[in-house]
Amino acid sequence: MADKSQPDPRLGQVVYVLRGRDAGQYAVVVGKIDPKFVLLADGYKRKFDTAKKKNIRHVRFQDFVSEEVERSLHEQGRVTNAKLRYALQQFLSTHPRAEEKGE
């Protein structure tokens, strides 16, 4: 039975991590494992090659999708860490109320 309260995550979508070691930080969806789990990376501490498997109930989906990241993942199956960092910078600059990413 599908949970209607959770949106369908898109590749390149920015999320706010609510639980776990990376709580309080923003990341980008770089993969979908199944309807409950996604792979997250931020290009800083969490690189694309070591993306974090995360339950979708432990993240808050933002209304920002990086078309460049999405296109790269569909065409090449991977994305550079620089593109991930750029996508997060774009998100933070267009959403002034978003909390700053902590290191």
**Strands laid side by side in the 52-55 sheet:** 52-55, 37-41, 26-34, 13-17, 59-65
Task: Output the pLDDT for position 1.
Answer: 41
Across the range 62-67, mean pLDDT stands at 94
Across the range 15-42, mean pLDDT stands at 95
Q: Is residue 39 part of a domain?
A: yes
Q: Is residue 103 part of a domain?
A: no
Q: Is residue 3 part of a domain?
A: no
Confidence class for position 97, pLDDT limits 50, 70, 90 = low
Domain that holds residue 84: 13-94
Number of domains in the chain: 1
Across the range 13-37, mean pLDDT stands at 95
Q: Is residue 51 part of a domain?
A: yes
Task: Output the pLDDT for position 44.
Answer: 93
Q: What is the CATH number of the domain that holds 19?
A: 2.30.30
Q: Is residue 6 scored above 70 in pLDDT?
A: no
Averaged pLDDT score across all residues of the chain:
88
Q: Is residue 7 part of a domain?
A: no
- The pTM of the full predicted model, rounded to 2 decimals, is 0.85
Q: Is residue 2 part of a domain?
A: no
CA distances for 88 relative to 14, 30, 40, angstroms: 7, 13, 12
